[in-house]
Amino acid sequence: MNDLSSPLGMLAVLLDGLWVTLAVTLGGALVAAVSAFAAGLARLSRGWPLRALALVYVDLFRGTSALVQLFWVFFALPLLGVALSPLTTGILVLGLNIGAYGAEVVRGALQALPAGQREAALSLGFSDRQTLWRILLPQALPAMLPSFGNLLIELLKSTALISLITLADLTFQGQVLRAATLRSGEVFGLVLVLYFIFAQLLASGMRLLEQRLGRYRSN
């Protein structure tokens, strides 16, 4: 039994929720990466059905509240016969939400490349797919990373919303601990510190990745 009167006892309780927060962050990041590249590339597709579908996805998830999206999938979707677990709901909804913003990052980075590169690649016999994967994306990816880093931190902070769909994440455990101890300042001070530490770790990891890709490109 943890001694909730001590900072170490409080920290032990909060760490139980931290693992849930990190699981949703990592799972959501994977969903966001896949959806960002899929929708971003679809926005640049020559086929209008793909462009239209991607536009609907991006506008829907960017134009509505992430909290309402969570509530709809968790509480309303079961009425249509589709019930997802709280963890799956959190990962899927937050990942798709952040991925919608990431799609615009992907689209913008690719459109910023000189149009002559695509034309030169096609004139040399490269297919559209080869041009994209071998020439355009390797150049555009380093420009995407700073924005992706910001979105990853935003995803971490957004995980606080999953406490409202019964997941015992870091924020949920903080609320339980505050109710048990009535020491709001200390409890939420620790919660803030934990969020800050892991946000800094994510930011440092993204900066390291930027530096590695920068050295790769310079070589």
Confidence at residue 98, expressed as pLDDT on a 0 to 100 scale: 97
Residue 138 forms part of a structural domain: yes
pLDDT, residue 154, reads: 95
Q: Is the pLDDT of residue 22 over 90?
A: yes
Domain interval for residue 199? 7-218
Distances (CA, A) of 117 to 51, 67, 121, 219: 22, 42, 6, 19
Residue 1, in any domain of the structure: no
Residue 50 lies in a domain: yes
Q: Is residue 37 part of a domain?
A: yes
What is the CATH number for 15? Answer: 1.10.3720.10
Number of domains the chain contains:
1
Q: Which residue has the tokens 């909804």?
A: 93
**Is 2 inside a domain boundary?**
no
Residue with tokens 């390797």: 138
User: What is the pTM (predicted TM-score) of this model?
Assistant: 0.89
Q: What is the mean pLDDT of the chain?
A: 88
- pLDDT of 91-104, one tens digit each? 999 999 999 999 99
pLDDT of residue 218: 43
Confidence of residue 124 (pLDDT cuts 50, 70, 90): confident
Residue 187 lies in a domain: yes
- Distance CA(29)–CA(22), nearest Å, equals 10
Percent of the chain whose predicted confidence (pLDDT) is above 70:
95
Per-residue pLDDT for 66 more than 60?
yes
Confirm whether 137 is domain-assigned: yes
